[in-house]
Amino acid sequence: MNHRRSFLKSALAAALAAPLAPRLGAAPVSERILKPRRLAPGATVGLVSPASATFVTEELEIVKETVQALGLKPKLGAHVLDRYGYLAGRDEDRAADINAMFRDPSVDAVLCVRGGWGCNRILPLLDYAAIAAHPKILLGYSDITSLLNGIHAKTGLVTFHGPVGASTWNAFSLDSLRRILFKGEALTLENPKVLGDNLAFTKDRVRTITPGRASGRLLGGNLTVLAAMLGSEYLPEWSGAILFLEDTNENVYRIDRMLTQLKIAGVLGRLSGFVFGRCTNCTPGDGHGSLTLEEVLNDHVRPLKVPAWYGSMIGHIENKFTVPVGIRAQIDAERGSIAMLEPAVG
């Protein structure tokens, strides 16, 4: 009996002293980082529809022409124009297109045609071993947040929060995309400062929540999508990360609810820095007693006592940054800048 008690005490002491084993897909990303190859003229881009359906075929033609205008070759997924209700085909078919593009040696990057809804449904169907064995650029935003974070968590692959195929590909958006994905620059993302005919800046302003600088891994995307992924194995480890968020068409009380969800799930308390991009058409609602978005951000973010700011060119807007998910970066909350500390591509 004494031997058994001694053994149990020793086992308990060892268990308490040992670090907790990371959950599936949440090993420190810094130990497993994978960078895709940069884009070169003539590279092939696989077009996939992992979320909502494309109802007007002309839109896909425009996406193909956009890719060609970039000096790249589009390659359509087998199910890119499928429809299953509001989804771009059955779950297994949408996942099959992504798996096929990563396995295909002729494909250099994967561009999602549009967001909407549906990516969370296919996360269990992706071939993460094949994705890790064939690291490629994956680009998109909004509902594509699921893929960007799920694939990064499972494989360590750096992914890219940027335009989808159906986005507006204007000069502003192309600037950061070209410099990050084609030239391999470690870029500093900072809002433009253009007075125009005004005496003060009226557009693209930055609001500091908590001043200071912070360094960490860039993680994030659409707030609604990330909140819907909590509790799953498809989110990365948040400790020391810089979280960037954006959203659209949500009443302020819903933003409050989702930030509360991140808080009580233990995400916000582990961050080294925080950036909120744009919340497009996020209104206080009908009631006169509503909190404003500014008040909600102050309530949730200021108590964190980490550098934080609001207003980055990230989100459902025409002029948008391409933001790498998983690389080291430094933010300056007073300047309103995100400085990449390393290239995101090899």
Q: Which of 79, 272, 316, 337 is flagged as catalytic?
A: 316
pLDDT reported for residue 196: 80
For the question of whether the overall pTM of this predicted structure is more than 0.85, the answer is yes
Count of beta carbons in the 10 Å neighbourhood of residue 93: 19
Q: Which of 49, 52, 142, 337 is flagged as catalytic?
A: 142
Sign of CA dihedral 219, 225, 230, 234: negative
Residues contacting 250, CB < 8 A, separation 6+ = 223, 224, 258, 279, 282
- Tell me whether residue 316 is one of the annotated catalytic residues: yes
Q: Is the pLDDT of residue 202 over 90?
A: no
Q: What percent of the chain has pLDDT above 90?
A: 85
Structural domains in the chain, CATH included, are 29-182 (3.40.50.10740), 188-340 (3.50.30.60)
- Widest distance between CA atoms in the chain: 86
Residues contacting 262, CB < 8 A, separation 6+ = 226, 227, 230, 268
Q: Is the pLDDT of residue 3 over 80?
A: no
Residues contacting 42, CB < 8 A, separation 6+ = 71, 72, 73
pLDDT tens digits for range 286-344: 666 789 999 999 999 999 999 999 999 999 999 999 999 999 999 999 999 999 999 99
Q: How far apart are CA 6 and CA 3, in angstroms?
A: 5
| Whole-Å CA distances, 95 to 123, 124, 138, 161 | 8, 9, 14, 19
Q: Is the pLDDT of residue 29 over 80?
A: no
CA 346 to chain centre: 19
Local confidence band at 201 (pLDDT 50, 70, 90 cut-offs): confident
Local confidence band at 105 (pLDDT 50, 70, 90 cut-offs): very high
Local confidence band at 24 (pLDDT 50, 70, 90 cut-offs): very low
Q: Which of 176, 246, 300, 312 is flagged as catalytic?
A: 246
> In the chain, helix, strand, coil percent, each to 5?
35, 20, 45
For residues 143 and 112, is the Cβ–Cβ distance under 8 A? no
